[in-house]
Amino acid sequence: MPVVDFVEQSECLGGAGNVAVNIAALGAHLEMFGVVGARGKNDDEPGVALRACLRAAHIGDKGVLADASRVTTVKTRVIARHQQIVRIDHERCEPLTKATEEILLRGLFAAAKKLDALVLSDYDKGLVNDELADRVLSACHKLKVPVFVKPKTSRLYAYRGARAIVCNAKEAGFFVTRALGDEKSLEEAGRALLAHFGCSAVVITRGEKGLSVFEEGSPKHLTIAATSFEVTYARVGKAGIERGATGRQVFDVTGAGDTVLSVLAAAVAAGASLADAAVLANTAAGVVVGKLGTASVSPQELAHALDDLAR
């Protein structure tokens, strides 16, 4: 079995927290909503660390509730020489109590009145259920706040009315109950998911093949190719990147989908079209896969990467 000598330990936000960090890194102002564990009247130890990380990223945490019936989700990654050896998960995924859910929704509805966009990042930990998703989307629809969703495979119809659903090719294949082996099957899946979710757009991330965007009312889908130059870890997002090789040097795909969701939502909230937002999101994802662990992209890194693509 592998033996790893301990060198250092670091803490960072994962799950929906990683989505929030990605948005905040682009300069947006945001408020986080969710639930952490509690011990007595205080957060549990990981919950305290989570709030510290949120505040360090200048993310509001008033919408994060402490619940004594739960524990704060912690995923511990053991990494050696830039490679993940194992991950240990501590979590509880049972549904929230109705009392906690109502408090969470009241705060979210109050905040929705001043939002430019809302991101619903569902990691299937018990917080998002069909009723909560429906109530959030209905409230945002009335306020004309676009909602961007990263769904989980346990819920197919819970996100009707979303501005965009973001999923990867494997998840899309699960939703339509068949593998997406070619462009034809991908297009059929994208069109089917538009109808299934009743949403305005579906974005399917495709790894080394980039991503595809399907919009309601548009006869053709848009496919954006993955960035095709190689990037070393030390030079990610910097000018003067080597363009001789094809493909990208990938250190870690952790959180790449979160980056797409985050940049897509932030760009549309700032006034970009969905197509332009998808180009930005695809480029940003290409930057973060060259970083180790959950990571975000800064406006400067994104600008450099876009400049390199334009050359």
Question: Phi, psi at residue 168, to the nearest 5°?
Answer: -90, 175
**Token pair listed for 20:** 């929030």
Listed as own residue / partner, the contacts of 232-241 with beta carbons closer than 8 Å and 24 or more positions apart are 232/290, 233/82, 233/290, 233/291, 233/292, 236/287, 236/290, 236/291, 236/301, 237/287, 237/297, 237/298, 237/300, 237/301, 237/302, 237/304, 237/305, 238/301, 238/304, 239/304, 239/307, 239/308, 241/308
CA within 13 Å, CB half, 152: 15
Active-site choice (43, 44, 61, 258)? 258
Helix extents (H) in the chain: 16-25, 45-56, 98-112, 130-143, 169-175, 183-197, 256-269, 274-288, 299-310
258 is catalytic: yes
CB-based contacts of 210, cutoff 8 Å, min separation 6: 223, 224, 225, 226, 282
Sign of the alpha-carbon dihedral angle for 288, 293, 294, 296: negative
223-255 burial, b for 16+ CB within 10 Å, e for fewer? Answer: bbebbebbbeeeebbeeebeeeeeebeebbebb
Amino acid at 258: D
CB-based contacts of 75, cutoff 8 Å, min separation 6: 14, 87, 88, 89, 90, 91
Catalytic annotation, residues: 258
